[in-house]
Structure 1
Amino acid sequence: MPFKIMMVFGTRPEAIKMAPLARVLRHWPGLQLHICSTGQHREMLKQVLDAFELQVDQDLEVMTHGQSLNGLSQQLLKHLDITLERLQPDIVLVHGDTTTSFITALAAFNRQLPIGHVEAGLRSGDLRTPWPEEANRRLTGVIADLHFAPTAEAKANLLRENVPADSIEVTGNTVIDALRWMRQHQQQSQWSPAIDSPLAVLEHNRRMVLITSHRRENFGQGVRHICQALAILAQRYPDVQFVYPVHLNPQVQSVVGDLLSDTPNIYLIAPQDYQHFVWLMARSYLILSDSGGIQEEAPAIGKPLLVLREVTERPSALKGGTVLLVGTDRERIVRHASELLDNAQLHARMSRVHSPYGDGHASERIARRLDNWLKAQPRPNKACALPA
């Protein structure tokens, strides 16, 4: 009888990072994969799954308009408990630091089911930054049975928290697997955006700066300062194209629209699917972002990155010299972006390709460890239920 693995994700970043692992597990002998989506980013999730030729086995459909984190957690726990009771997986896989990840881990723990944590051990050192992600990943780490750490630094964080060394596997980050798979696909097929795509208006002979911003801790003044900095940069560099896929959250869209919609060389576009976004990253001259995943992706394709956050849980990229932490201070953003746009030597130094987050084979390492670990465990009697 094959071992049943339940993989749960709900957001676009989770789907991107779990997709290459799902592709490996689907074809691994002796393993049976069940993919469960919570639907936190439903439309964006579908784009990712289509790009990686995957389908979910179950969609919990827990999201409602204006839902609080507590409301989401309540619905997740309720629906996941029903699924876990029905499916009785041999292990539950979660990723990173989302509310979906922690609540799934909690639901599995309450049913005494093993938990595997992909991208384990990242730490900012500040429980409220990023919020609520830092708490989610720490709490998940407390109850997980297997910890798939992307780097040696992440493993060291777990060891400092007294996680048993034999439960930690340094694998690299699956986002590099996803990025390399997509880049290879695009290069082999000479893929480019369709002629009716909003990206088709970009001029290839002009430099392009790519911007993303979606962190909760930047809502309000943070997003406003970022937009004010972009307005200054766009006026200072009229020959540069500034491309900003604007997150769907109204707290981001309203501020961005008010401050940047009338600037001719700033292109405010809808969030892009993974294919188009990888193309944008590869096409860019410079990236400004508060994303965690882009901190891993940009160095791997040699793109200078200014991180629009005050702290980061990904210090390996900073040490490589291609990523700079600038926060949301308007003057700092303008100063550092201007230096990179004006100084070709500095730009060349920060464009060095390096990949502190792995070699593109993290998924295979995770699958192998899962297979070996499951074979070493006694098969539980899944007929027994928890006591009332």
Structure 2
Amino acid sequence: MAKRDYYDILGVTRSSTADEIKKAYRKMAIKYHPDKNPGDKQSEENFKEAAEAYEVLSNAEKKRRYDQFGHAGGAASPNGGGGGGGHMNMEDIFSQFGDIFGGGGGGGSPFDSFFGGQQQTRGGRRAARGSNLRIKVKLSLEEIAKGVEKKVRVNKQVVCETCDGSGAKDKSSFNTCQTCNGSGAVRRVTNTILGQMQTTSTCPTCNGEGTQITSKCTTCHGDGLTRGEETISINIPAGVSEGMQLSMSGKGNAAPRGGIPGDLIILIEETPHDSLKREGNNVIYDLHISFIDAAIGASIEVPTIDGKAKIKIDPGTQGGKILRLKGKGVPEVNSYHRGDQLIYINIWTPKVLSKEERDVLDRLKESPNFKPQPGKNEKSFFDKMKEYFE
């Protein structure tokens, strides 16, 4: 299903200011927050959708790319992470709230306390997040034109199978944290000019776990992670280009203690084609023909992305002429539009001639048809431009 327009999601226009966009997102976030709509899957999707839209429109560079290229521009972000959202998880979304709702620092934002801290685990601790992984995938021009499923083997951090990611030798290796009494959070009361204020922060002793490990797992040495390998299937859409980055949520490095896995970032590389060259969504082919074929015409087979195709060379074809095969180029990402194949005609001249060939050409040289007649056989540049604009 096609993605909705980011401006429509937030109810703003392209001319809206940054403050207006922020205000619109704040309104949507409060309306669809999971704590306010428990168990409502549609509200959760709307919540994520609004966060994705704000993540793009609040960033000047991402907004510029989106205004120019739409959702495909976000996918091509040069800064990694998929650029235009699309794969945001709840951890990414809640990380925005320090800016939107005035929070920041270690004590959480007012938004956290208003909704009960949905983004946090026990005791108010944010779930740990695994790091992102980046890989390169090489694609042929044919694969780019049609889209392809690639299976890659990725070496990464995975959850330790011995301790199931807990980092402990066994269940008896956990003790209740004495600092927070198992809550995972510590509360402090401070006196201010406005009176007493209570703040809650992550317990520094157990890092919000509520427990401490007394005996570590011998396999992962308490990290909860080991090195492993996973075969991942990547569905690459048609029309991607060199340098474009795609993102797969949750396919990066695992996180300890049941945290959120990182993302897998896929960098696209195009392998050169033997005879075709890509320019945007068009495909270029340099066709070299003899001046005999150019003079009397010919039927010639040329390569395309979809296989061989026959084209007709009209008698009297001049060097530099461009033939166009409609719809034989590369499709746009997430679009039905497809570029063309452009065939550049080059007249090939032999460098070595036999005596018989030279004699024939010497005789033809005196013929009026073999003398350049640009005024008769070829329209001037200005005539061509006039026809083009008319």
- The structure with the greater share of residues assigned to strand is 2
Report if TM-score (shorter chain) is over 0.5. Answer: no
Structure showing greater Rg: 2
TM-score, normalisation: structure 1: 0.19
- The structure with the greater share of residues assigned to helix is 1
